Structure 1
């Protein structure tokens, strides 16, 4: 019986040849290296009595061969599935229903009411940040406040809008 250390030595001594063998099957050295690594992970802890080191090497080649063919089969199936699916951009989007428009319009009205109830500086900070794309420093400069206060304004406004949205979803 060959122990784990001997298995490791057989693998290391023949790794380059195993990669070349898998490359001939797969057509890709990168994939072959992955397959040989997977083969070693299956080969190293094996509790089988493979006999001599030549038999052990033959067993390792068989693992590499089987993993390579499994990879090719899996790749072929994946390609077949991809060919059966139309490209994502060719599938038409579902047009929004009239109910979808009503729901969105209602949410916009509710958010507008929440924004109208906010103090002017808080509303301006939120609008600049969310709709204008301004950063907190630019908002602070525009409003004449600190960056921390600008952040607090934006956070307060967002929390009120989120609270309203959660309350109405229930």
Structure 2
């Protein structure tokens, strides 16, 4: 394929078959046409750089195949990631539903009643740890107890509260 007219004849003789080859891979004849055109541009650049290609038809088919696979992968990725509007529609509302809100209010009432029934020191250890974020070491110092007892008091309060929620 020395002259541009030979190259064009080569392209035109294979163009329809190349589009037919690419179409099932990319899933659309119009995209296959684009792939074949891009493949031809790459192929013709290679002809300009390298004087001889041993099997030009095989080489052109390989370019079409690789480009078709790239288009197919890109299309799969684009279809997997929803656009922003679809993504926003799928997000849950930050506001709880009325049913959830009623459930939370009821659970909070049960927890408040359970905490009120705990001994004062257990309730205080729980409050310091879970609500104020203090460590067991800090609770032990503040309540004048050992670290292990502070840990046990908080664990007892959590266990009791969980049991009260399960009973409800």
Q: Which residue of 2 aligns with 1:109?
A: 109
Q: How far did residue 70 of structure 1 move? A: 3.8
Residue 77 (str. 1) matches residue 98 (str. 2): no
Alpha-carbon separation, structure 2, partners of 1:86 and 1:106: 33
Equivalent runs, 1:14-163 vs 2, <5 Å: 68-79=70-81, 81-87=82-88, 92-93=93-94, 96-97=97-98, 100-163=100-163
Q: How far did residue 104 of structure 1 move? A: 3.0
User: CA distance change for structure 1 residues 167 and 135 in 2, over 3 Å: closer, same or farther?
Assistant: same
Stretches (4+) displaced over 2 A? 60-71, 81-84, 86-97, 99-109
Q: Could you say what secondary structure the match of 1:85 adopts?
A: helix
TM-score scaled to structure 2, two decimals? 0.51
Cα RMSD, aligned residues only: 3.4
In structure 2, the gaps of 5 or more residues are: 1-58
User: CA distance change for structure 1 residues 152 and 167 in 2, over 3 Å: closer, same or farther?
Assistant: same
Alpha-carbon separation, structure 1, partners of 2:71 and 2:84: 21
Q: How far did residue 163 of structure 1 move? A: 0.6
User: CA distance change for structure 1 residues 103 and 137 in 2, over 3 Å: closer, same or farther?
Assistant: same
User: CA distance change for structure 1 residues 149 and 66 in 2, over 3 Å: closer, same or farther?
Assistant: farther
Q: How far did residue 111 of structure 1 move? A: 1.4
TM-score scaled to structure 1, two decimals? 0.50
Alpha-carbon separation, structure 1, partners of 2:92 and 2:158: 35
For the pair shown, the structure with the greater C-alpha radius of gyration is 2
Aligned residues: 110
In structure 1, the gaps of 5 or more residues are: 1-57
User: CA distance change for structure 1 residues 88 and 151 in 2, over 3 Å: closer, same or farther?
Assistant: farther
User: CA distance change for structure 1 residues 63 and 123 in 2, over 3 Å: closer, same or farther?
Assistant: farther
